Amino acid sequence: MIWEFIQEQILGMKWLNNLIESGLEGIGLDISGKLESSIQFFLYDVIKITILLCVLIYLISYIQSYFPPERSKKILGKFHGIGANCMAALLGTVTPFCSCSSIPLFIGFTSAGLPLGVTFSFLISSPMVDLGSLVLLMSIFGTKVAIIYVIVGLIVAVIGGTLIEKMHMVRYVEEFILKADVVDIDSPTLSQKERLSYAKEQAASTFKKVFPYILIGVAVGAVIHNWIPEKWIETILGSHNLLGVVFAVLAGVPMYADIFGTVPVAEALLSKGAQLGTILSFMMAVTTLSLPSIIMLKKAVKPKLLGTFIAICTIGIMIVGYLFNIFQSFI
């Protein structure tokens, strides 16, 4: 009962939805109409995600203050083999919130001489399975789905990085990265006040960058939720279409958003009958394989390595999607 209250009233903020519904009815709007229902969906999701965004980024940034790049590099340097890939994937959960923010760290780690497979495990994990995604997914899909999503995301990151390492593809990293001069300077120890100030600044900065995508994502979700016929979604992304996962991944690649921008779209798709695995594949594709991040990564690696990265991530995401669809009834 306590956990149900946390999931519905704290994470899901059902009280907020009821409050907005009462407010709209109070000014004479009939929320059973499509336009009014869209307004309710938009207000509820924007406010809910904004609150969760600010709280989560503040907390995660505080944790991140203990893992500056220099310290992260030293931690990863102590591990070898698949253990290093696992640590890199786990480290990705407490670092940047989108793939474009992860790439500079990836370049720094690679320049510092860390194994290429290890840095790619970090690059895959960082945008896909940050701690924020765990809490946000819990608010919509429930605890079990959220935890499984994070676990399979980490598995994809570890396997992807391991495969790239086994293929000996370091020669396909651009020369300016491999030959970069690395100054190994320990980060100064921050006081408690400085950590809290850092967390506050990161929360404000990230909010400014992410908020436009939240608005776009919620607007798209509101249109899907109230204006697109359920049969259309079921036909394209439902259980009767075996290519639904493929379509979801292809639709996600051109977009640029993080987990906060994709959640309202996923929420709307779920309510319209899309399969769980198909929705999660879409979210993974948006956060990991967005076109802007691919363009940025192209500056750091040669086409063969870039193509290998895209292929590994795409195949891994599709496998995850199909597995979730197959076992959806058991989750």
Q: How far is residue 329 from each of residues 145, 231, 234, 291, measured CA to CA in Å?
A: 12, 21, 17, 33
Sequential pLDDT tens for the chain (331 residues) = 787 787 788 888 889 999 999 999 999 888 888 888 999 999 998 998 889 888 888 888 888 788 777 777 777 878 888 999 999 998 888 775 565 667 777 888 888 788 999 999 988 888 788 777 777 788 778 888 888 888 988 999 999 999 999 999 989 998 878 776 554 555 567 888 998 998 899 888 878 887 888 888 889 888 888 888 878 887 888 877 889 999 988 887 766 666 677 888 888 888 888 899 999 898 888 888 877 778 888 888 999 999 999 999 999 999 999 999 988 877 6
Name the pTM for this structure.
0.78
Distance CA 315, CA 124 (A): 13
Distance CA 187, CA 192 (A): 15
Domain limits, the chain? 2-330
Q: Identify which of 101, 19, 18, 27 has the alpha carbon closest to the alpha carbon of residue 60.
A: 101
Q: Measured in Å, how far apart are the chain's first and last C-alpha atoms?
A: 20
Q: Identify which of 151, 97, 100, 92 has the alpha carbon closest to the alpha carbon of residue 119.
A: 92
